[in-house]
Chain A
């Protein structure tokens, strides 16, 4: 399998971080100060809700109303997190103003992981294969089919969702993993479009050289194109995973049953199950926070890549 020479010289290196030598510091000006203040304000507005979420999640729901304006937890307790993770007894939960209704967090977490992982693996692989065919291979009908794919970007999800729901129901796949995963598993127009843009930029000589060595299209794809594209593939994977993790509409339709319920659906259900008169805000915020942790961790690990990838889609 190693017969194919890896043309390392042609490998596009990731763009060097843009770093211009620092010029002389610009002189202080009122305008510049105001600009910094504006930027600072926008960052505060971005971050404050996260802080509020954490502060509420560490409060005792029963006495939350006594200090509605305090940015610190009211009667600090880890109870809400214990309620969410299922380690609090019903009595403890009710003592802190929880409903005592069980939130099978670990089940929902497992379901979210299964669904998001499967969608990411399938969608990225199959979209990459299609993108390769669109970008690197010549075949009749190529442009027509690609145009059809792109047009699908315009179709509002709700339009396809009703018939898809009927289809999944007729196939007997309601409340199963395949039913939740299927519509996202094979492709999204966006993923194909995204990777095609990148594949178009790879030099043709690399393929020609491999072909002379006797490599077929499949070997070229798996041994050359994919490894060369590890950066965009990784960013697309992260974006796909985050989108799959956050998807609400579809799993809400086809995955209501506890055994396959994902976190977004569970959160919404948890919200509607708490009484309108005295909602368990602390428990809810703890749950939302815990549900957001996995994507946050992904962001910590791949933050720079995600940021760059959005710029990548923006430019071309």
Chain B
């Protein structure tokens, strides 16, 4: 049986060129539909977006080339710089709180229980859409009737206009999205925790190390590659904040929550300034690519830790 297979392999090697051509043809057929989708809906629009950013285009009349006009306008556009700043605040709060809480949650689950039910429960918010999540929290954080303000009043605080106050709006939106994504992030980290050999923990425990010491000396260092991956995923994702803003504040109060994506949307679909919207998109893309590059470098650097 084995020798027959070997003979067959040798024969296959002799037929190699023909088989290679056949294999290539099959591969191209297999890739074709995905390739079509890739070219039409990812590659081409990327190039076209780049082109549109150098034009004046309102969707009704053909795009007319306008050189760097959109970009010079961008540099002087205070609303744009504000939107970048607001987005940065959002990313910072969202990622900071989410990473910390998810790490805590993952470690708690890992060290306390093996229950799949608990793991399922923490994932529940991830299953409902951004729109539903936004509406739900908009209601709970309502100034007059919301349960959150009601509970604040029980402990003697004044009500807070979570979505209506310039200082509170971005932190609130950030926390709403932490609530939705916490479980997912925690499970990613949990997966990383499971790859750490339990013997390491037991050896440390035998040596008399406490939980806190084990966490900082063993868990955290060994988790670094996973944490880097999680950060790549969540940071890129958090720059894309849109749905929550669109449903709750629509950029307000004033421009306090006018994040970049919402500003792009606003320029394109409320003011029909597609050229300018594309230019902002290009800048956002460049920022994201930069962030991803830096993070991938970190990720590579982290890979050597564990093998």
Contact = CB atoms under 8 A, between A and B. Distances in A.
B132 interface: yes
Contacts of B284: 156, 158-159
A38 B226 contact: no
B91 interface: no
A286 B19 CA distance: 60
Contact of A137 (B23, B129, B150): B23
Interface in A241-296: 242, 245-249, 252-253, 264, 267-268, 271, 281, 284-285, 288, 291-292, 295-296
19 contacts: A35-B112, A38-B104, A46-B182, A47-B121, A47-B124, A52-B147, A142-B27, A149-B38, A156-B261, A167-B40, A186-B34, A186-B37, A186-B38, A186-B41, A187-B37, A264-B129, A285-B135, A291-B129, A307-B119
A39 interface: yes
A3 interface: no
Contacts of A8: none
Interface stretch (B64-72, B77-85, B191-199): B191-199
Interface centre among B20, B139, B243 (most CB of A within 10 A): B139
Q: Which 10 A-B pairs have the closest CB atoms?
A: A186-B37, A246-B129, A314-B191, A163-B45, A130-B34, A311-B191, A187-B34, A133-B30, A217-B26, A139-B27
B136 A49 contact: yes
A182 to B, nearest CB: 7
A310 interface: yes
A162 B274 contact: yes
Given A49-B136, A52-B140, A281-B139, A264 B146 contact: no
A163 B127 contact: no
A46 to B, nearest CB: 6
A207 to B, nearest CB: 11
Which of the four size classes fits the interface of chain A?
A: 35 or more
A133 B24 CA distance: 9
Give the interface centre of B20, B23, B37 by most chain A CB atoms within 10 Å.
B37
Contacts of A218: 26
Bin the interface of chain B by size.
Answer: 35 or more
Interface of B: 5, 8-9, 12, 20, 22-24, 26-28, 30-31, 33-38, 40-46, 48-49, 52, 59, 101, 104-105, 108-109, 111-114, 116, 118-125, 127-132, 135-137, 139-140, 142, 144-147, 150-151, 154, 179, 182-184, 187-192, 194-195, 211, 226, 229-230, 236, 239-240, 242-243, 246-247, 261, 264-265, 268-269, 274, 277-278, 281-282, 284-285, 288-289, 292
Contacts of B236: 154
Interface of A: 18-19, 31-32, 35-36, 38-39, 42-43, 45-47, 49-50, 52-53, 56, 64-65, 68-69, 126-127, 129-130, 132-134, 137-140, 142, 145, 148-149, 152, 154-164, 166-167, 169, 182-183, 185-187, 189, 192, 208-209, 211-212, 216-218, 221, 242, 245-249, 252-253, 264, 267-268, 271, 281, 284-285, 288, 291-292, 295-296, 298-299, 303-304, 306-307, 310-315
A159 B121 CA distance: 34
Given A127-B34, A291-B129, A304-B116, A159 B49 contact: yes
Contacts of A159: 45-46, 49, 281-282, 284-285
Contacts of A36: 112
Contact of B135 (A45, A47, A267): A267
B136 A314 contact: no
A284 B8 contact: no
A187 B35 CA distance: 8
Nearest to A50: B124
Given A130-B30, A271-B247, A69 B150 contact: yes
B127 A68 contact: no
A307 B183 CA distance: 10
A148 B255 CA distance: 37
B42 A242 contact: no
A167 B27 contact: no
Contact of A182 (B22, B41, B101, B144): B41
B230 to A, nearest CB: 8
